Amino acid sequence: MSGRWRRPWLVARREWDQRARSRAFVISTAISVLVVVALIVVPEMYGGGVKPTRIVGLVGESSSQLPSLLRAAGDRLGLTVKTRAFADEAAGQVALRLGDVSVLLVDQRALVWNAEADDQLGAIVASAVRAVDEEQAIAELGLTSGQAQRLLQPPELSSTSLEPATKDRSARAALGIIGMVLLFMAIAFYGGFLLVGIVEEKSSRVVEVLLSRLRPTELLAGKVLGIGLVGLAQFAVVAGLALVALRLSGNTLAPETTPSTIGWVLFWFVLGYGFYSVLYATAGSLVSRQEEAQSIQFPVTAVLLAGYLFAFTAADSPDGVAALVGSLVPPTALMVMIVRIAQGAVPWWQIVLSVALMVATVYGMVQLAGRIYAGAVLRIGRRVRLKEAWRGSEV
């Protein structure tokens, strides 16, 4: 690396060396990987692929075929349905109250629930009972097996969709929310990292030694780049291992769009960090003491948090006008866009427009922030006001 990028690169390399090699960084990466992998693998081990079980209590008259018909009807709807016979209704009701059975079927005609009726289970029982009735009717009518088959033949219906398949729409929406939350956390975390790093240079007074060797904008660019790379690397390692775990565990709960959503989250992390890091860095340059670092980052975190909360609203109606606007305006775009992309097709022009707006805004902000940073970073002592920093730029 030579020329005008040499010094920012040296600054970035120092950030990388000091942070990525630190024990705290290694430990925090390991913990993140463990947590994410556990989130993927554990549900698969306990209950992933196992269908919920319902027990139907049988009282009185009951066809010998009913249990197998119930099981078959349950299978079609993703439930394991078992049966248990009771001598009389009273005994069945006791079991019902104890929760041993989900519903009581009396004489193949009456359903008794403990409190709330389970419509899905009700439909399963109804279809099984109906099959029993049909068998009986066929026998009574003396139909041949051909006639019976014709009667029972299910209609052949063709199937097309107006909208793309949404069979795991809710799972994809949930994935979008998870991605958005991770993005929010990562940006707040690494943004805070950067802010503390900038305050550190002021509080340790090393900044004047540095600025006798490089320009404030070079120092700022190097720090943003270095900490950004550390964050991206940590984020990518965690996301990559999550994908491996997903593949190896054969997780059936995660929608097919998981890898692409992870890719989008990393992509928007780069842009979002670009936007918010400039804000965090500017805030950090205004104070000289670590005790003030918390309060000075509040306005920035508030903007980020507003975007975060807005993204939740947008998740409910991802195709609404509010969500569209939110996914284009830079402060909210990264989080809202993730939620929208995860839920379905976002027209490509909206993504391009959103990215272009973001890049243009970041470029403009870097110019403003560079001047404020330069004006504030050598003023050690009390908190610098934005106006002073703007006017006081020396370099």
Minimum CB separation of residue 386 from other proteins in Å reads 18
Residue 279 and residue 196 in contact, taking contact as beta carbons nearer than 8 Å: no
> Which of residues 71 and 215 has its CB atom nearest to other proteins in the complex?
215
- The owner of tokens 């097709």 is 345
| 290 binds other proteins, rule: CB under 8 A | no
- The reply to whether 395 sits near other proteins by the rule CB under 8 A is yes
Which string of x and - marks every residue 187-206 that binds other proteins (by CB under 8 A)? -----------------xxx
Report the DSSP pairing between strands 53-59 and 80-86.
parallel
Give the shortest CB-1-to-other proteins separation in angstroms: 11
* 54 in contact with other proteins (CB under 8 A): no
We find the least distance from the C-beta atom of residue 222 to other proteins, in angstroms, to be 10
Q: Which is nearer to other proteins, 140 or 394 (CB)?
A: 394
- Other CB atoms within 10 A of residue 326 CB: 23
Between 135 and 292, name the residue whose CB sits nearer to other proteins: 292
Question: Shortest gap between Cβ of 2 and other proteins (angstroms)?
Answer: 10
Span of 12-20, 48-56, 188-196, 341-349 interacting with other proteins by CB under 8 A: 12-20
Where does this chain touch other proteins (CB under 8 A) — which range of 144-152, 179-187, 213-221, 226-234?
Answer: 213-221
Using CB under 8 A as the binding rule, the residues of this chain from 361 to 380 that contact other proteins are 378, 380
Residues in the interface with other proteins (CB under 8 A) total 22
Q: How many CA atoms lie within 13 A of 49 on its CB side?
A: 9
Q: How many helices (H) and strands (E) does the chain have?
A: 15, 4
**Pairing relation of β-strands 103-106 and 53-59?**
parallel
| Closest separation in Å from C-beta 18 to other proteins | 7
Residue 216 and residue 184: Cα distance in Å, rounded? 28
- Residue 371 Cβ vs other proteins, minimum distance, rounded to whole Å: 13
Distance between CA 164 and CA 212 in Å, rounded? 60
Nearer to other proteins, 10 or 41 (CB): 10
As measured in angstroms, the least distance from the Cβ of 16 to other proteins is 12
Q: Is 219:211 a contact under the CB 8 Å cutoff? A: yes
The token pair that represents 181 in the structure block: 């939350």
- Which tokens belong to 207? 């900044």
Nearer to other proteins (CB atom), residue 95 or residue 214? 214
- Which member of 215, 289, 379, 383 binds other proteins (CB under 8 A)? 215
CB of residue 276 vs other proteins: minimum separation in angstroms?
A: 25
CB of 27: closest distance to other proteins in angstroms? 17
Does position 207 bind other proteins by CB under 8 A? yes
Q: Does 18 bind other proteins (CB under 8 A)?
A: yes
Dihedral sign, CA of 299, 301, 304, 308?
negative
CB atoms within 10 A of CB 376: 28
Which of residues 141, 209, 244, 305 is near other proteins by CB under 8 A?
209
Q: What gap in Å lies between CA 274 and CA 231, rounded to an integer?
A: 12
Residue 110 sits at φ, ψ, to 5 deg, of -125, 135
Contact between 387 and other proteins per CB under 8 A: no
Spatial separation of the C-alpha atoms in residues 314 and 322, rounded to whole Å: 7
What's the CA gap between 128 and 69, in Å, rounded? Answer: 5
We find the least distance from the C-beta atom of residue 198 to other proteins, in angstroms, to be: 13
> Per rule CB under 8 A, is residue 17 in the interface with other proteins?
yes
Alpha carbons 114 and 136: distance in angstroms, whole number: 30
Select 91 or 214, whichever has its Cβ closest to other proteins: 214
Torsion of CA 77, 82, 87, 88, to 10 degrees: -30
Residue position matching structure tokens 């992390």 = 269
Q: Quick one: 84 or 215, whose CB is closer to other proteins?
A: 215
- Cβ atoms within 10 Å of 132's Cβ, excluding its own: 17
Phi-psi region of 205 (alpha: psi -120 to 50; beta: other; left: phi over 0): left
Identified binder of other proteins from the candidate list 51, 150, 167, 213, rule CB under 8 A: 213
**Binding residues vs other proteins (CB under 8 A):** 7, 10-11, 14, 17-18, 204-215, 378, 380, 394-395
